[in-house]
Amino acid sequence: MAELPEATERIQEKWVKMGLFRRKKKPKYVEEILEFGEEIDLRSRRRENKAKKSQKAMLAQEAGQGQPGSQQAQGPAQQQGGQKKSLATEYCEQIMAAAKNLEETKREYKVVTDYLTDIQKIENLPESEMKKIQDTAQNVLNLNDARDAYLNKSKTISDAQFAQMEQLEDEMPEIIRRLQGNESYQTTVRRDMQYLEGEREEWRYYQESVVNEENILRKSLYALLSVYVLAVLMAVILGMAMKFDIMMPFVAATLVTGAAGGIMVLRLQNDSVEIKKSQANINRAIVLLNKVKFKYVNVTNAVDYACEKYHVKNGYELSYIWDQYLEAVKEREKYQRTNDELDYFNDKLIRQLKKYQFYDARIWIHQAKALLDKKEMVEVKHELLVRRKKLRDGMEDQAETIRGARKEIESLVKNRPGGYEDVKELLDAVDNMCGIG
């Protein structure tokens, strides 16, 4: 007799632990309601299938144990009582699971119904009031589109570049001007350096040509003297041998040789002067080139340091990043204004709908298109109607599961002395809680 009250206490403890009477937080959006309802429906069906399988297995075990065999030695009465107790527990757990699912389904069914009631209120609004709501909804929709366009827009500069430009916002125009000035000066110095290198090489080429000419003149002078000496000797020998006057040939050879030699000597003196002049110009070009190279190294180091510091290749790229930063700042300011305006019109739309005692006015800031487009509203309404029908069917299945389990429990315990009334009282309480007869 003490087993049934203990079973009742265990059932009551399981109800408390499972939280059947805790209220679930109300979903905010229609999508959440639909998804949550589908999850409940699926979980409920799984539990029902599991309970039915368990019931069939226990019935098969009960039928097998009722046949003659080795289990008859334990006592038919004790064995049958244990089987009934085990089956009663299974059915009680099945009832509790179905009751919890039924309560959740009823709660979601009420939420979906309240949303459908809100749609009905919208459809019955006066045209003048609906026009005001649609104007606000149009602003909400436009601002949402503008915000989405900003969020979906590809970035022209990285976040690191934006942060660096923001940190140096006051100094960046001067930095760009200085970098571009250094690059311009670097180009000028490089051009001067190339000019000086060209001038140095030109003087070196001229100097080499003068040196070559000087060598040729020296050799020619030596050759002329050799020919003159040889000619004089030949004239003397021939004159002595042939007994003729050699004065005139000697004078002529001397004049020709003297004239040619004089010209060569003058040319050698001029070449010597030109060589010294060329060397002086080469030295001057080298001195200037060293100065220009020193300037070039300094300005190049400054340019390279700036490019490395700001992660750019040149001043034009830095100027481009700066322009993109200014554009991004304007876009962010526009985005912030859009958000502020969107908050204003969202609040305005909520206030307009709350005047008509809507169940959830806030959801319509996410369904603004449905307020403007009747086809969109019909689609939302259709989805809610389909969802409500599924919930209604689910409640009927869960109620039927509870009734079937109740009948099985009653058939198991109705022959136990004094136990039937306690269990029936508990089952009636479950029926009242679930709203089934």
HSE at residue 144, side-chain half, CA atoms within 13 A, is 13
Do 118 and 171 share a structural domain? no
Average pLDDT over residues 29-33: 35
CA angle 251, 255, 256 (to 5 degrees): 120
Q: How many Cβ atoms are within 10 Å of 159's Cβ, its own excluded?
A: 8
The answer to whether the beta carbons of residues 144 and 342 sit under 8 Å apart is: yes
Tokens (6 digits) for 403: 């009734």
Q: Is 133 a domain residue?
A: no
| pLDDT tens for each residue of 232-289 | 888 788 777 777 777 777 788 788 888 888 888 898 889 889 989 999 999 999 999 9
Give the tokens for residue 257. 């040789």
pLDDT at 347: 93
- Is 48:127 a contact under the CB 8 Å cutoff? no
Domain-located, residue 289: yes
- Closest CA relative to residue 315, chosen from 324, 326, 303, 305: 303
State the DSSP code for 418: T
What's the pLDDT at 322?
94
Number of domains in the chain: 2
* Residue 239 and residue 373 share a domain: no
Co-location of 174 and 119 in the same domain = no
Last residue of a domain, one of 311, 330, 354: 311
Task: Say if residue 172 is in the same domain as residue 77.
Answer: no
Distance CA 371, CA 205 (A): 89
Q: Is residue 335 part of a domain?
A: no
Confidence of residue 57 (pLDDT cuts 50, 70, 90): low
Q: Using pLDDT thresholds of 50, 70 and 90, give the confidence band for residue 421.
A: low
Residue 137 domain-assigned (yes or no): no
Residue 80 has pLDDT above 60, yes or no: no
- Determine, yes or no, domain membership for 306: yes
Give the contacts of 206 (CB within 8 A, at least 6 positions apart). Answer: 274, 278
Encode pLDDT of 301-337 as tens digits: 999 999 999 999 999 999 999 999 999 999 989 999 9
Q: Does the reported pTM lie above 0.85?
A: no
Domain-located, residue 389: yes
pLDDT of the residue at 326: 93
Last residue of a domain, one of 293, 311, 329: 311
Which position has the higher pLDDT, 189 or 18? 189
Residues 170 and 306 in one domain: yes
Give mean pLDDT, residues 136-153.
89
Residue type, 359: Y
64 has a pLDDT exceeding 50: no
Q: Are residues 305 and 210 in the same domain?
A: yes
The one-letter code for the residue type at 232 is V
> Rounded to 10 degrees, what is the CA torsion of 190, 194, 197, 203?
-140
**373 with 297, same domain?**
no
The parent domain of residue 56 ranges over: 3-66+73-125+362-434
Does residue 5 carry a pLDDT above 70?
Answer: no
Q: H helices within 355-419, ranges in order?
A: 368-372, 374-413
Res 390: pLDDT: 92
CATH of the domain at 307: 1.10.287.620
Do both 94 and 205 map to the same domain? no
Domain identity same for 294 and 228? yes
In a domain, 318, yes or no: no
Q: 99 with 225, same domain?
A: no
Q: Does 274 fall in a domain? A: yes
pLDDT band at 186, cuts 50/70/90?
A: very high
Of 23-27, 100-104, 296-300, which gets the smallest average pLDDT? 23-27
Same domain, 303 and 169: yes
- Among 311, 338, 370, where does a domain finish? 311
CA 47, 51, 54 angle in degrees (round to 5)?
Answer: 140
For residue 75, is pLDDT > 50?
Answer: no
Q: Where are the alpha helices (DSSP H) in 124-171?
A: 127-152, 159-167
pLDDT at 394 over 70: yes
Considering the domain architecture, whether residues 276 and 185 belong to the same structural domain is answered as yes
Q: Does the pLDDT value for residue 71 go beyond 60?
A: no
pLDDT per position as a tens digit, 331-378: 989 999 999 999 999 999 999 888 888 888 899 998 888 988 889 999
**Residue 209 pLDDT more than 60?**
yes
pLDDT of residue 37: 39
In this predicted structure, what is the pLDDT of residue 3?
41
